[in-house]
Amino acid sequence: MRIVDVPQILISSPAIFGIGLVWYDFNVKVFDRVSNLLSVAFIDKAGEERRKERRKEEEIRRRIEEEEEEE
């Protein structure tokens, strides 16, 4: 017959829960990253053009702000 060691159960349960929580968080991040990469690669070609336009607009805004700060 096995002896139930209560302190060992009380210590190991939170440890197992913590490891499970970290593993779950890792899997959620991986799933999100992979789904975003697949979306960009295969689905959202027009979004790529929009992002390029936004980057250009942000660069223009930064240049204007830098010129205003120099004056």
The residue among 29, 51, 31, 30 whose CA lies nearest residue 40 is: 51
For the chain, helix, strand, coil in percent to 5 are: 90, 0, 10
The residue among 20, 23, 19 whose CA lies nearest residue 31 is: 23
pTM of the predicted structure, to 2 decimals: 0.51
The yes-or-no verdict on residue 61 having pLDDT over 80 is yes
**Does the CA dihedral 59-64-68-70 come out positive or negative?**
positive
State the pLDDT at residue 53: 87
The string of pLDDT tens digits covering residues 4-58 is 788 888 889 999 999 999 999 999 999 999 998 888 777 767 777 788 888 999 9
Q: Where are the chain's structural domains?
A: 8-70
Q: Tell me how far apart the terminal alpha carbons of the chain are, to the nearest angstrom.
A: 85
